[in-house]
C-alpha cells in the first residue's frame, strides 16, 4: 500500500515548488461572492497528531525515495530520471515529494484557506516539529484572512516568525468598503490595514492579492483608488495581481445575471489597473502578475523605481489601435499570445486577425473572449 498524507486543493502559484501540508480543511468563512474554491465543503480543524503524522509520512517518503534511487543506480540522488519513474508508478503523492526534493526541499505551504485560525501555540508546535523532522526547510508560508490576523497581537506574529513562518498570503481583493461588503469578504479596509500593519511589524513577509475588475462598472474608480490607498498604508512586500473571472455557481454569477453587478470590459479593467498603479505611492512593494488570467502579465516590477515601467506596459496596450487591441485580447485569451511582444510573430498575428474578423462578422467576439476566459479556470 502507498504511503499517503492529506493535502488540500489550493496553493498560490508562487508555491508551485512547495510541499503542501494541510493544517485545517477548507475555509472557515466560505462566503466570498466570487469564490468557489471550497463551495459545499465544511471547514474543520485537524488535530496536532494528524498533522504531525503527515509530516512523519513525508519524512518516510523521503527515505523511500532515497532507497529507490539507490536501487535504481542513482546513488541516493533524487534526480529527474527517478522523478519520471515515480510519475509512471502513478503514486501522485510520492511524485509530489520527489518534485519537492528536486526543487531543494526548502519551501512548505500550509493549507488550507486560513491556517492561522488555529491556536497560535499549536501552529508554533507544528512549525517546530516540521523544522525538526525536515531540516532542509527554509521558507514556510500560509494563507490567512485579514479578520483573523487583525485579532492576533504583533507578539503572536513575532512568535510565529521565530518558529519559522516566513510569509503570509492575504486575499485583500479590494480596499473599498463598498466593494468588500458587496462581495461579502468579511473584512473591512480597516481590518486589512490593521492586519497588514501587524504582519509587517512582526517582520513576516506579506503578500496582498488584489482583483482587477472587482468593483465592476459601478465602483471601478472607487475600487482602484481605495485599493491603492490601503496598499499605500500597508506597504506589503508583494502586491499580487489577479483579474476577476465570474465563475458559474457563485453568488457573483447570480448578481451578474440579475444585473446587480456589471462586469467591466477587458479595456476598462486595464484602465482600472492604470489608475491603481498611478496612485501607488511611497511604498517599496514588488508588483507581481503571476496569473495567466491577467491580460498584461508583463506588469511586474518593484516600486517605487519600477512604477514608470509598469505604467509604460499599460499605456502601450491602451495606445494600440482598436483592431490591434482586439487582436491581442483574443490572442491572449486563446492562448496564442502570452505577452504583447508575441504579436510580432506575423503568422500568429495573421491567424488571430482572421479569427477576429470572422467573430466580428458573426457578432460573437465579446462572447468568445469571455468563454475563452472561463476555460482558463
| Site residues (vs ligand SF4, CB under 6 A) | 27, 29-32, 35, 37-38, 113, 145, 171
Q: How far is the CB of 185 from ligand SF4 (least distance, A)?
A: 7
Please tell me the distance from the alpha carbon of residue 261 to that of residue 218, in angstroms, as a whole number.
Answer: 8
**Helix, strand counts (H, E) of the chain:** 15, 10
10-22 exposure pattern, b = at least 16 Cβ within 10 A, e = fewer:
ebbebbeebbbbb
Q: How far is the CB of 361 from ligand SF4 (least distance, A)?
A: 40
Q: How far is the CB of 25 from ligand SF4 (least distance, A)?
A: 12
Q: Which is nearer to ligand SF4, 123 or 355 (CB)?
A: 123
Q: Which is nearer to ligand SF4, 141 or 327 (CB)?
A: 141
Q: How far is the CB of 145 from ligand SF4 (least distance, A)?
A: 5
Q: Which is nearer to ligand SF4, 113 or 210 (CB)?
A: 113
Q: Which is nearer to ligand SF4, 6 or 267 (CB)?
A: 6
Nearest to 167 by CA among 209, 133, 135: 209
Q: Which is nearer to ligand SF4, 44 or 67 (CB)?
A: 44
Our CA dihedral for 303, 18, 134, 95, rounded to 10 degrees, sits at -160
Q: How far is the CB of 148 from ligand SF4 (least distance, A)?
A: 10
Q: What is the 8-class DSSP label of residue 369? A: H
**Residues 324, 315: contact at Cβ < 8 Å?**
no
Q: How far is the CB of 178 from ligand SF4 (least distance, A)?
A: 17
Q: Which residues pair with 111 in a beta bridge?
A: 22
Nearest to 134 by CA among 92, 168, 167, 106: 106
Q: How far is the CB of 134 from ligand SF4 (least distance, A)?
A: 26
Q: Which is nearer to ligand SF4, 175 or 331 (CB)?
A: 175
334: which 3 cell numbers? Answer: 486563446
Q: How far is the CB of 38 from ligand SF4 (least distance, A)?
A: 6
Q: Which is nearer to ligand SF4, 113 or 343 (CB)?
A: 113
Q: How far is the CB of 195 from ligand SF4 (least distance, A)?
A: 13
Q: How far is the CB of 329 from ligand SF4 (least distance, A)?
A: 26
| Widest CA span in the chain | 64
**Residues 267, 315: contact at Cβ < 8 Å?**
no
Nearest to 61 by CA among 17, 94, 95: 94
Sign of the alpha-carbon dihedral angle for 352, 356, 362, 368:
positive
Residue 63: its H or E element: helix 48-71
Nearest to 182 by CA among 254, 272, 252: 252
**339 Cβ partners below 8 Å, 6+ apart?**
296, 297, 298
Q: Which is nearer to ligand SF4, 24 or 327 (CB)?
A: 24
**Residues 343, 337: contact at Cβ < 8 Å?**
yes
CB atoms within 10 A of CB 141: 23
Q: Which is nearer to ligand SF4, 82 or 117 (CB)?
A: 117
Please tell me the distance from the alpha carbon of residue 285 to that of residue 291, in angstroms, as a whole number.
Answer: 18
Please tell me the distance from the alpha carbon of residue 152 to that of residue 43, in angstroms, as a whole number.
Answer: 20
Q: Which is nearer to ligand SF4, 164 or 171 (CB)?
A: 171
Amino acid at each position: 500500500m502507498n504511503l499517503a498524507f492529506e493535502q488540500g486543493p489550493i496553493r498560490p502559484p508562487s508555491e508551485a515548488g512547495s510541499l503542501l501540508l494541510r493544517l485545517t480543511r477548507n475555509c472557515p468563512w466560505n462566503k466570498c461572492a466570487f469564490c468557489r474554491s471550497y463551495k459545499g465543503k465544511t471547514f474543520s480543524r485537524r488535530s496536532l497528531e494528524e498533522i504531525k503524522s503527515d509530516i512523519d509520512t513525508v519524512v518516510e517518503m523521503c527515505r523511500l525515495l532515497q532507497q529507490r534511487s539507490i536501487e535504481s543506480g542513482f546513488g541516493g540522488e533524487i534526480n529527474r530520471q527517478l522523478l519520471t519513474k515515480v510519475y509512471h508508478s502513478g503514486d501522485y503523492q510520492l511524485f509530489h515529494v520527489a518534485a519537492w526534493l528536486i526543487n531543494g526541499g526548502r519551501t512548505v505551504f500550509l493549507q488550507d484557506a486560513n491556517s492561522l485560525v488555529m491556536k497560535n501555540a499549536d501552529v508554533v508546535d507544528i512549525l517546530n516539529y516540521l523544522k525538526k523532522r525536515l531540516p532542509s526547510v527554509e521558507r514556510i508560508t500560509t494563507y490567512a484572512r485579514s479578520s483573523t490576523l487583525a485579532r492576533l497581537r504583533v507578539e503572536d506574529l513575532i512568535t510565529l516568525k521565530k518558529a519559522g513562518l516566513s510569509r503570509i498570503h492575504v486575499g485583500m481583493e479590494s480596499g473599498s468598503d463598498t466593494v468588500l461588503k458587496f462581495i461579502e469578504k468579511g473584512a473591512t479596509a480597516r481590518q486589512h490595514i490593521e492586519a497588514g500593519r501587524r504582519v509587517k511589524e512582526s517582520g513576516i513577509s506579506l503578500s496582498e492579492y488584489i482583483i482587477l475588475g472587482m468593483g465592476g462598472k459601478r465602483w471601478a474608480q472607487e475600487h482602484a483608488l481605495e485599493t491603492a490607498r490601503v496598499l499605500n498604508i500597508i506597504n506589503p512586500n508583494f502586491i499580487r495581481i489577479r483579474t476577476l473571472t465570474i465563475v458559474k455557481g457563485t453568488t457573483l454569477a447570480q448578481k451578474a445575471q440579475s444585473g446587480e453587478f456589471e462586469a467591466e470590459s477587458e479595456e476598462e479593467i486595464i484602465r482600472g489597473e492604470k489608475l491603481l498603479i498611478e496612485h501607488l505611492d511611497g511604498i517599496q512593494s514588488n508588483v507581481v502578475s503571476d496569473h495567466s488570467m491577467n491580460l498584461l502579465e508583463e506588469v511586474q516590477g518593484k516600486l517605487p523605481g519600477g512604477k514608470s515601467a509598469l505604467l509604460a506596459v499599460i499605456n502601450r496596450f491602451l495606445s494600440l489601435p482598436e483592431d490591434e487591441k482586439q487582436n491581442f485580447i483574443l490572442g491572449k485569451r486563446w492562448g496564442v499570445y502570452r505577452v504583447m511582444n508575441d504579436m510580432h510573430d506575423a503568422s500568429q498575428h495573421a491567424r488571430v486577425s482572421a479569427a477576429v474578423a470572422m467573430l466580428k462578422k458573426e457578432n460573437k467576439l465579446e462572447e468568445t473572449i469571455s468563454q475563452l476566459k472561463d476555460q482558463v479556470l
